[in-house]
Structure 1
Amino acid sequence: MYMPAHFEENRPEVLHRLIAEQPFGALITHGPNGFDANHLPFEFDAKLVPGGDDAAPAQTHGILRAHVARANPVWQEVAANPETLVIFQGPAAYISPTWYPSKHETHRQVPTYNYMVVHAHGRIVVRDDEAFVRGLVARLTRKMEAGEPVPWKMGDAPADYIAQMLGAIVGLEIEVTRLVGKWKLGQNKEAADRRGAAEALLAQESDGQKAVGQAMLDAPPAF
């Protein structure tokens, strides 16, 4: 990913927060037919996990867990090449040149998009066992259903039906070896232009636009 220094976001707590808030990621793998992309909800365990050998222990950057349909060949294909990338896309918004005060003075501005994104690099391990997928599905369900007036739970469905559904999926666990964050929020713009664009976004109806506008105000400038 192209990464000008002023757009780089390295703070673990910021990267972890975006993954937690935007858990629907794109799993990128490379199999016998080339690159593949699967779009999945992920559980993220941000705790650092020891890795490597005893003499020189390494540290991962957390664990990602997901599941795919047993009919999806990706879980078999990754055995030969477990290196993977998961992309988590945060809020993004179009930026009009008319929102920059300097545009009306010099007309030297162009449209762009501002956005926040995390790339999680890691290695996949296939977890084809009922206990793993049952626990994962239960936790994902609790998180996703938390805002419902009457949250659905696995116990609402017949036990034999749940067993059948769990048998039709396979678990994936990814040891995250590197997290890369890019917060493109106009840090390279003059303060007045950046504020003008941020305030224009905050005045829009979309929650995503408002989120980008607030992030622009919160991010430190490049100069």
Structure 2
Amino acid sequence: MYLRTVHAEGNLAILQEFVKQNPLGILNTALKSTVYPFIQSSHIPFVFNVDTSATGHEDNQQGYGVLRGHIAKQNPQAKVLIETLAATQTELGDETIRELPEDVLVLFNGPHHHYVTPKFYVETKPTTGKVVPTWNYSAVQVYGKVEDLSRQAETSIMGYTGGGNLSPWEVSDAPVSYIDILKKNIIGIEIRIHRMEGKFKLSQEMGKGDREGVIQGFDNLNSDVGRNMAEMVKDRGNKKDEGA
């Protein structure tokens, strides 16, 4: 990810919250195989946890956190993960090894993004014309090691918290025999994070007049995406002006 200073987000708490709010990650691996493609990607909903007691690893104790999810065994990416892990164990002669030597990359995208026309730049375009189209978006990328989920989504995404609301779906709601079949066809993965980077490209590199033009331009779209983009541009612009 290309990170210009003006777009980079280095606050770890903000990056972690971004991942929690946008849990559908794209798992990217680059693993050598005689059968499967070298580079593979899969969309996986992850549960993010910063509980340092989960593992004794120093990296996790620094506060980056851990991602947990599952992938279908039939997925070629799962097959190459299993193949690589097995080869690593054979090479080292240690059946307790449960960590791949190569890093994996997981990309989390924000829910809103949009094209930005040069016409939004009401300050620069009329005076110099030195503006070009771009795209505004937000994303966080995570690097970590892979090691050998439903409740979070039911409560935080669907709002099924019980009481006055509907109760969350439980695994026990499905037949045991059905769950047993599914469990045989998935593998659980844990990614111990050692690096997080965030990019919020939301016109904060522009002057205040142009940013206000972008905000107005998005508002004029009269859409949910437009309104959300306007709020994001305004928020990032304010942080820039405040030196945050």
Shorter-chain TM-score category? 0.7 to 0.9
Give the paired residue count. 211
CA distance in 2, matches of 1:39, 1:143: 19
Give the structure 1 partner of residue 141 of structure 2.
119
CA distance in 2, matches of 1:20, 1:205: 28
CA distance in 1, matches of 2:158, 2:61: 36
CA distance in 2, matches of 1:39, 1:196: 35
Question: Residues 97 and 110 of structure 1 are in contact (CA less than 8 Å); yes or no, is this contact kept in structure 2?
Answer: yes
Change (3 A) 1:153 1:202: farther
Moved more, 94-103 or 148-157: 148-157
CA distance in 2, matches of 1:17, 1:209: 23
> What are the residue-to-residue correspondences of 1:35-74 with 2, within 5 Å?
35-48=39-52, 51-52=57-58, 59-72=62-75, 73-74=79-80
Change (3 A) 1:44 1:74: farther
Stretches of 4+ moved more than 6 A in 1? none
Which residue identity does 2:225 align to in structure 1? Answer: G
Q: Does 1:8 align with 2:18?
A: no
Change (3 A) 1:4 1:195: same
CA distance in 2, matches of 1:189, 1:113: 13
> What are the residue-to-residue correspondences of 1:80-99 with 2, within 5 Å?
80=88, 81-90=101-110, 91-99=112-120
Change (3 A) 1:216 1:47: farther
Q: Does 1:34 align with 2:38?
A: yes
By how many angstroms is 1:120 displaced?
Answer: 0.5
Q: Among residues 81, 84, 98, which one is paired with 1:75 in the alignment?
A: 81
More strand per residue: 1
Structure 1 unmatched ranges of 5 or more: 127-135
Give the structure 2 partner of residue 106 of structure 1.
128
Match of 2:145, SS state, is strand
Question: Residues 60 and 175 of structure 1 are in contact (CA less than 8 Å); yes or no, is this contact kept in structure 2?
Answer: no
Give the structure 1 partner of residue 199 of structure 2.
182
CA deviations over 1:134-189 (Å, ceiling 9, x no partner): xx344445544435956533222111111211221110000110110011111221
Give the structure 1 partner of residue 209 of structure 2.
192
Question: Residues 29 and 85 of structure 1 are in contact (CA less than 8 Å); yes or no, is this contact kept in structure 2?
Answer: yes
Which residue identity does 2:70 align to in structure 1? Answer: H
Which residue identity does 2:62 align to in structure 1? Answer: Q
By how many angstroms is 1:26 displaced?
Answer: 0.6
Match of 1:5, SS state, is coil
By how many angstroms is 1:51 displaced?
Answer: 2.2
C-alpha RMSD over aligned residues: 2.6
Which residue identity does 1:105 align to in structure 2? Answer: T
Question: Residues 151 and 169 of structure 2 are in contact (CA less than 8 Å); yes or no, is this contact kept in structure 1?
Answer: no
CA deviations over 1:34-76 (Å, ceiling 9, x no partner): 11111111111134565239xxx96250010110012221431
CA distance in 2, matches of 1:197, 1:59: 38
CA distance in 2, matches of 1:123, 1:34: 17
Change (3 A) 1:8 1:170: same
Task: Provide the identity percentage.
Answer: 29
Question: Residues 63 and 175 of structure 1 are in contact (CA less than 8 Å); yes or no, is this contact kept in structure 2?
Answer: yes
Change (3 A) 1:139 1:6: closer
> Taking structure 2 as the reference length, what is the TM-score of the superposition?
0.76
Moved more, 12-21 or 113-122: 12-21
Question: Residues 51 and 58 of structure 1 are in contact (CA less than 8 Å); yes or no, is this contact kept in structure 2?
Answer: yes
Question: Residues 142 and 153 of structure 1 are in contact (CA less than 8 Å); yes or no, is this contact kept in structure 2?
Answer: no
